[in-house]
Amino acid sequence: MHVVVCIKQVPGTTKVAINPETNTLIRDGVEAIINPFDENALEAALALKDKTPGTKVTVVCMGPPQAENALREATARGADNVVLLCDRAFAGSDTWATSYALAQGIKALEKVDIIYCGKQAIDGDTAQVGPGVAEFLGWPVITYVRKLDVEGDTVKIERVFEDGFEKIEAPLPVVVTVVKEMNVPRMASLKGRMRAKKEQIKMLTAESAKADPNEVGLKGSPTRVVKIFTPPKKTSGQKWDGIGDPIHAAKTLVGKLKEQKLV
C-alpha cells in the first residue's frame, strides 16, 4: 500500500505580518512549524505502516525552500519519501490553487491508496484543502477522522461530530482529514534524525508536476482576501452588583442604556 501525507508549514507564532498588496502572510524570517493536525496525519500513516508490512509513506508539502525542514522532520519520524512542491509560480495560492497543485504533485507519484491531511491548517483555518485535493483527483473524502482501519480495498472509519461519531466505509483510493484525537504523534528516533540529514528531497516545480501555470499562484486563485485585521480588544465593561439593592442596580443600568440611546 502507498499512503501520502500532506503537511503544511505554518508560523510558529501569532506575531506575523500581512502583505498589504496581496493580503497574504509574509512568511520570510518567521519561525515555522509543522501544522499540528498534520503531525497527527503523519502519525496515522506511520502507524498504518507499522501495522501493515509493505506500506510506503510519502510526505508531500507545497511551500518555500524552508519547508525542507518540515520534510526532514517527517523523514526523521519514519517517512519513506518526501516531496516538496516548490516554485515561485505557486506563491500566493489560495485553497483552490493549493489543492490543484497538491493533486498534480500526487498524480506524479506512483499509485496512491490513501491521502492523509490534517483537519485544517492553523493559519489559514479553512479546512478546504483535503476536500479540494479529493475533488481534483475525483476521489471520495472523509473529514474529521479519528480512527481508520483498512480491510481489503475498503477503509472503515470513525468520523467525529460535536456530540458523537459515525462509522463510515469507503472504497480505496480515498482522502481523509484527521483530528487530534486520532493519536499522539511520535518523536523522531536518533537513527531517523541521522537518515533525515542525508535524505534526498524530491523537488517538483509547476512544470514537473504538470500543473497549468494559469491555475496556480495568485493568478490561479479565485479567492481575494480583501481585508485582514485584528479585532479591537473588548473592554472589561462596567458591573453593578444588584445583590444588595437590585432596584437601584436596575435603575442605574436602565439610566446608562438611555444615556447611550440604546433604549
Ligand X SMILES: Cc1cc2nc3c(=O)[nH]c(=O)nc-3n(C[C@H](O)[C@H](O)[C@H](O)COP(=O)(O)OP(=O)(O)OC[C@H]3O[C@@H](n4cnc5c(N)ncnc54)[C@H](O)[C@@H]3O)c2cc1C
Q: Considering beta carbons, is residue 70 or 150 the nearer one to ligand X?
A: 70
CB of 32 to ligand X, least distance (A): 12
- What spatial distance separates the first Cα and last Cα of the chain, rounded to whole Å? 67
Q: Give me the residue label for grid cell 525542507.
A: 68
CB of 78 to ligand X, least distance (A): 17
CB of 104 to ligand X, least distance (A): 12
Q: Considering beta carbons, is residue 69 or 126 the nearer one to ligand X?
A: 126
Long-range pairs of 185-188 with CB within 8 A, sequence gap ≥ 24: 185/39, 185/40, 185/42, 185/43, 185/77, 186/43, 186/46, 186/77, 186/78, 187/77, 188/73, 188/76, 188/77
Q: In the complex, which residue's CB is closest to ligand X?
A: 124
Q: What is the torsional sign of CA 84, 87, 93, 96?
A: negative
Q: By the 8 A CB rule, do 110 and 1 touch?
A: no
- Could you list the residues that contact ligand X (CB under 6 A)? 6-8, 25, 35, 37-38, 41, 61-63, 93-95, 98, 102, 117-118, 120-121, 123-130, 223, 225, 228
Residues 20 and 163: their CA atoms lie apart, in Å, by 41
Q: Considering beta carbons, is residue 12 or 255 the nearer one to ligand X?
A: 12
CB of 40 to ligand X, least distance (A): 9
CB of 153 to ligand X, least distance (A): 24
In total, the chain counts a number of residues equal to: 263
Task: Give the Å distances, CA to CA, from 118 to 180, 186, 224, 251.
Answer: 9, 16, 24, 53
Q: Considering beta carbons, is residue 75 or 98 the nearer one to ligand X?
A: 98
Q: Considering beta carbons, is residue 2 or 253 the nearer one to ligand X?
A: 2
Q: Considering beta carbons, is residue 78 or 118 the nearer one to ligand X?
A: 118
Q: Considering beta carbons, is residue 81 or 95 the nearer one to ligand X?
A: 95
SS3 257: helix
32-34 vs 9-11, strand pairing mode = antiparallel
CB of 243 to ligand X, least distance (A): 44
Q: Dihedral (C-alpha) 89, 95, 101, 107: value to the nearest 10 degrees?
A: 180
CB of 239 to ligand X, least distance (A): 34
